[in-house]
Structure 1
Amino acid sequence: MHFADSLATLRLDPGSATPMFRQLYLAIKQAILAGTLGPGVQLPPTRELSTMFGVSRQTILNAYSQLLAEGYLSGVVGKGTFVSSSLPIANALNSGKPHQLIRPLSARGERFTGPEAYLPYHQGASRAFRIGMPGLDAFPFDVWSRLEARCWRRPPHELGYGDPAGYLPLREALAGYLRASRGVQCTADQIIITSGSQQAVYLIATMLLMPEDKVWVEEPGYRGINASLRAAEACICPVPVDNEGLNVAHGISHYPEARLVYVTPTHQLPLGMTMSLPRRLELLGWASANKTWVVEDDYDSEYRYGGPPLASLQSLDKSGCVIYVGTLSKVLFPGLRLGYIVAPPALAQAFTQGKAIMDRHAPLVPQAVLADFIQEGHFQRHIRRTRDVYAERRDTLLRAIDARLSDRLTVGATDTGLHLPVMFRQPCDDHVIAKAGLDHGLELRGLSYFYNETQADTRRVGVCGLLLGFAAIPPAEIRRGVDRLHALLNKQF
């Protein structure tokens, strides 16, 4: 098609906020991308076009110059200006049909998609009974903002590309804290700062596992580890838990060749029990003898209401087989996206290099602020204060359940963490109940969600229940939430 015909209806608007050369540039560009101006079509001389549109020749020159610079046009001295003949125009780009991928995802890419890999996320303000969320109303944002402002006034020299392992003062502060509070045997050189614990477990799985390597996971357990293992092409091996935690004997008898074990020994997710000392020693003895790695996810152990926090599994490890994973999401807030790995010395450098490949390093300024937050005593004060706040909220929830729902629910372990499990006294579909909760203003998570088996297989005694978070909402909202849950269950049963 001739150039004049293709732009016959174009009118440049001198009153527009968009400069006229830009209007012309966009019109010619769109005509080329749409295939209206095909490869090799010659454009009019600039003088002719300036007369056609009633604009200065410089306006035309500016538009042509931009199109030449971006490769839409090519100029030949003595011959004129043409639509570039090298463009793969354009019918495919603007066919009016939905875009189709030329190639599907790879087999590995497929492992990042689908319901097995989906990780839920928080939407909207906190409400009863959101899990995985601390109380933002208890966080000292005034202190944090003051420390952050000071950091910007005196920015650390590491604002370039920093150490992939993380900001050294933060790693030193965390090493001191973990030695004192959790008995973790470590130095700053063993700590790698990650973008949350989810990245930590994915990094571990990617670095240590070959495709189809077997991995023990707790049944029921944290679904996020399954997503990471699935992405790493590992074979997920569910091992049941009982009142003493992970059933190590079951794992040994069914999956003796496992290369890695994932466990939440201090506060099992979701059922809440603590792994007994005999089980811990049994696991460590077997892992050491079989050269198997153990990932200890210590996600909310700071909040124990019946005494001081328990010592970590890593503190018992004499052979260097435990990889300790921690997070700041439960103590501070999830949006901070800071977690950490305490790696055995033999793995620390490799994990650091792996972290560098993933995303260079975690954001520096939040690390620097957190280092000051810990070193100046705010971190420990915050934990002590929130432990009291959450204990009150837990007690409020327990009293409300006892008063309103004791005929419907039994309560599981309650001495640690930011949530508590409850089991229904009669068989039901907890997924249906959780979904119905949305209509009552409740955010519920069924216990069946945490199982690897199909929901139909898990509807048995002790499985049908809910995980109720209490830390994120004040006591009055907890009581209102229990009232709404009571109304919901009256409709369901």
Structure 2
Amino acid sequence: MAIPSSLQEIRQLSFDKSLKQSLSQQLYIGLRQLMLNGQLPAKCQLPSSRNLAEQLNLGRNTVMAAYEQLQAEGYISSKRGAGSFVASPLPDQLHSAKASILESSPATKVTRHSSQNSDDINQSFCVGVPDLSAFPHKIWQRIAQQLGKHSQDYMGYGDEAGFWPLRRAIAQYLQQSRAANCQPEQVMITAGAQQALDLCMRLLLSTDDVLAMESPGYRGVMRALRLTGNEHIPCPVDQYGLNPEVIFKAKQKPKLIYCSPANQYPMGEVLSLERKMALLSWAAENDSWIIEDDYDSEYHYQHRPLACMQGLDQHQRVIYMGSFSKTLYPGMRLGYLVLPEPLVKTFSQARFASYGQPPLLSQAQVACFMEEGHFNRHLRRMRIAYKEKLLALQDAMQCLLPWGQTLERQAGMHIVFIAKEGIDDRRLVGELEQRKLYASALSDYCHGGEDLNGLVLGFANTAANKMHSKVHVIRNVLAELYPA
């Protein structure tokens, strides 16, 4: 068997067992570094895990763990029967990581390198982070202490679909708040939304199937899709949400359709009822599945949360996806799927066989939190707080940022700024990171070649009275990069 030429570059890596980083993490960092500086160019084949383990005198599990992490982050892709290859292109959002890695260590040696402080990353316009300071920590700790008295009950294996009381609490909540048509038996607990997406794509997409998704749209869908190697059909977004005409006219009918109908991510439009019904009808007629990502439907500021698309489905074609990352906190890594009945057994068995399940104690803690009414009370408080923050940020951006247009929003935890022509949003994001403002580049959400630049700014974990000063930093950077 031919040895990939990439092995010559990889052999230069060295490892230090005295470091706190595991050997698999050191290998991951070294391989990522070689990719970012071009020594492992796009589309080049990597050695097999067995071959690389022998060459570097590492355990095969160590190599496989590094490969899996690189694949999960979009650096490499695997082709069944062919091996692993460097992705083309590499993840766009990591353009600034290249400089920090190169500055921290020589290209041929794995060493310690500086990392961003997590307290900084989780604040200052980072997308998807809730107000961590407003979380009811005392109540949460009290529940943990109560459960701790019976900790033995949560130390064994549980139901392959997840902790039953949590599944029951989620079903009741969705029935009441989202008009979902579901029973606890249809709810499956996952380790966050990303695992849920990964399961959907692995189980429902065959080799030649395609997925249709919004563009601009959620970047996590593309990360999950890279793991399967399937192609996608980008669907444009307008004032009525996803435009399904591309799907209806496609030569190859998509097996999966991903959408965020209650609050399109990231642009914020609501999918019209007419389009919802058209998509549901088309999916039933063409034996396709719809993934409804209801990522932050709880946060609508002018009316009650909208009824979900799943509740309108008469043919069991919708897979409803939710998470506690934005309603509670992202470090919990708990999400869920509401599955059509024909998929429940297959998904549960596959999840249990491939990933196991999230810790039972964490699931029990969330179940108690919901059953005692704390979840709904927390959401009510957050709606009031987030509305205040949204209005403060919108006012500041409209006053201070004439370099583009701030989109009006009535829901969610982020805001979109569309920059004028000629502004490089990735360069802008890099400059803001130097000032500890962690916005995202709007162009990174575009999967269909749209010429769209700007910023996506999460506002939930920033105090309302600090919005003006932080936006002023953005103004100063724009004035420096693009003077009038």
Give per-residue Cα distances to partners, 1:242-299, cap 9 Å, x unaligned. Answer: 1111111122112552111011111111111111111111111111111100000100
1:191 aligns with 2:187: yes
1:452 aligns with 2:444: no
Instruction: Compute the displacement of 1:156 (Å).
Output: 6.1
CA distance in 1, matches of 2:236, 2:463: 34
CA distance in 2, matches of 1:294, 1:255: 18
1:414 aligns with 2:428: no
TM-score by length of 1: 0.75
1:315 aligns with 2:311: yes
User: Which residue number corresponds to residue 431 of structure 2?
Assistant: 436
The alpha-carbon distance between structure 1 residues 112 and 394, as it changes in their structure 2 partners (threshold 3 A), is farther
CA distance in 2, matches of 1:288, 1:348: 18
1:488 aligns with 2:477: yes
Instruction: Compute the displacement of 1:116 (Å).
Output: 5.4
Instruction: Compute the displacement of 1:471 (Å).
Output: 0.2
User: Which residue number corresponds to residue 344 of structure 1?
Assistant: 340
Instruction: Compute the displacement of 1:401 (Å).
Output: 1.3
Which stretch shows the higher mean deviation, 204-213 or 299-308?
Answer: 204-213
Q: Name the aligned partner's letter for residue 434 of structure 2.
A: D
Q: How does 1:273-422 map to 2 (within 5 A)?
A: 273-405=269-401, 407-422=402-417
Contact 1:112 1:227 in 2 (8 A): no
CA distance in 1, matches of 2:394, 2:77: 48
Secondary structure at 2:392 match in 1: helix
User: Which residue number corresponds to residue 469 of structure 1?
Assistant: 458
User: Which residue number corresponds to residue 107 of structure 1?
Assistant: 79
Q: Name the aligned partner's letter for residue 79 of structure 2.
A: A
Structure 2: tracts of 5 or more residues without a match: 1-53, 68-75, 95-114
Instruction: Compute the displacement of 1:489 (Å).
Output: 0.9
Contact 1:167 1:364 in 2 (8 A): yes
Contact 1:111 1:231 in 2 (8 A): no
CA distance in 2, matches of 1:158, 1:119: 39
The alpha-carbon distance between structure 1 residues 387 and 332, as it changes in their structure 2 partners (threshold 3 A), is same
1:423 aligns with 2:418: yes
CA distance in 2, matches of 1:358, 1:375: 30
The alpha-carbon distance between structure 1 residues 356 and 484, as it changes in their structure 2 partners (threshold 3 A), is same
Q: How does 1:267-278 map to 2 (within 5 A)?
A: 267-278=263-274
Contact 1:321 1:344 in 2 (8 A): yes
Give per-residue Cα distances to partners, 1:330-356, cap 9 Å, x unaligned. Answer: 000100000000000010111100110
Secondary structure at 1:241 match in 2: strand
CA distance in 2, matches of 1:94, 1:200: 35
Radius of gyration: which is bigger? 1
The alpha-carbon distance between structure 1 residues 311 and 337, as it changes in their structure 2 partners (threshold 3 A), is same
Secondary structure at 2:151 match in 1: coil
Instruction: Compute the displacement of 1:233 (Å).
Output: 2.4
CA distance in 2, matches of 1:340, 1:205: 15
* Selected match of 1:162 from 158, 161, 165: 158
CA distance in 2, matches of 1:411, 1:123: 29
Give per-residue Cα distances to partners, 1:59-106, cap 9 Å, x unaligned. Answer: xxxxxxxxxxxxxxxxxxxxxxxxxxxxxxxx97789xxx999x9995
Contact 2:432 2:438 in 1 (8 A): yes
Instruction: Compute the displacement of 1:439 (Å).
Output: 2.3
Contact 1:218 1:239 in 2 (8 A): yes
The alpha-carbon distance between structure 1 residues 251 and 147, as it changes in their structure 2 partners (threshold 3 A), is same
Instruction: Compute the displacement of 1:212 (Å).
Output: 2.4
Secondary structure at 1:420 match in 2: strand
Q: Name the aligned partner's letter for residue 463 of structure 2.
A: P
Secondary structure at 1:371 match in 2: helix
Q: State the percentage of identical aligned residues.
A: 36
Give per-residue Cα distances to partners, 1:142-197, cap 9 Å, x unaligned. Answer: 11011011101123634311111110000000000000001111111000000001
Which stretch shows the higher mean deviation, 433-442 or 280-289?
Answer: 433-442
* Selected match of 2:140 from 140, 144, 149: 144
Secondary structure at 2:147 match in 1: helix
Secondary structure at 1:110 match in 2: strand
Q: Name the aligned partner's letter for residue 221 of structure 1.
A: G
Give per-residue Cα distances to partners, 1:127-146, cap 9 Å, x unaligned. Answer: 32110100101100111011
TM-score by length of 2: 0.76
Give per-residue Cα distances to partners, 1:29-73, cap 9 Å, x unaligned. Answer: xxxxxxxxxxxxxxxxxxxxxxxxxxxxxxxxxxxxxxxxxxxxx
The alpha-carbon distance between structure 1 residues 214 and 123, as it changes in their structure 2 partners (threshold 3 A), is farther
Give per-residue Cα distances to partners, 1:437-463, cap 9 Å, x unaligned. Answer: 12233112111000124xxx533xxx1
Contact 2:186 2:344 in 1 (8 A): yes
1:124 aligns with 2:118: yes
Contact 1:111 1:230 in 2 (8 A): no
Secondary structure at 1:414 match in 2: coil
CA distance in 1, matches of 2:57, 2:282: 61
Contact 2:182 2:338 in 1 (8 A): yes
Contact 2:291 2:321 in 1 (8 A): yes
Alignment length, in residue pairs?
Answer: 392
The alpha-carbon distance between structure 1 residues 478 and 183, as it changes in their structure 2 partners (threshold 3 A), is same
User: Which residue number corresponds to residue 226 of structure 1?
Assistant: 222
* Selected match of 1:265 from 261, 264, 286: 261
Which stretch shows the higher mean deviation, 120-129 or 464-473?
Answer: 120-129
CA distance in 1, matches of 2:369, 2:473: 39
The alpha-carbon distance between structure 1 residues 176 and 487, as it changes in their structure 2 partners (threshold 3 A), is same
The alpha-carbon distance between structure 1 residues 172 and 234, as it changes in their structure 2 partners (threshold 3 A), is same
CA distance in 1, matches of 2:348, 2:385: 37
Give per-residue Cα distances to partners, 1:370-421, cap 9 Å, x unaligned. Answer: 000000000000000011111111111011112222x223122411110011
CA distance in 1, matches of 2:93, 2:375: 29
Instruction: Compute the displacement of 1:118 (Å).
Output: 8.3
The alpha-carbon distance between structure 1 residues 114 and 363, as it changes in their structure 2 partners (threshold 3 A), is farther
1:133 aligns with 2:129: yes
CA distance in 1, matches of 2:365, 2:147: 7
Structure 1: tracts of 5 or more residues without a match: 1-90
The alpha-carbon distance between structure 1 residues 483 and 105, as it changes in their structure 2 partners (threshold 3 A), is closer
* Selected match of 2:242 from 236, 240, 246: 246
Cα RMSD of the aligned pairs, angstroms, is: 2.6
The runs of at least 4 aligned residues of structure 1 exceeding 3 Å deviation read 91-95, 103-106, 108-123
* Selected match of 2:467 from 454, 478, 481: 478
Instruction: Compute the displacement of 1:477 (Å).
Output: 2.7
The alpha-carbon distance between structure 1 residues 107 and 138, as it changes in their structure 2 partners (threshold 3 A), is same
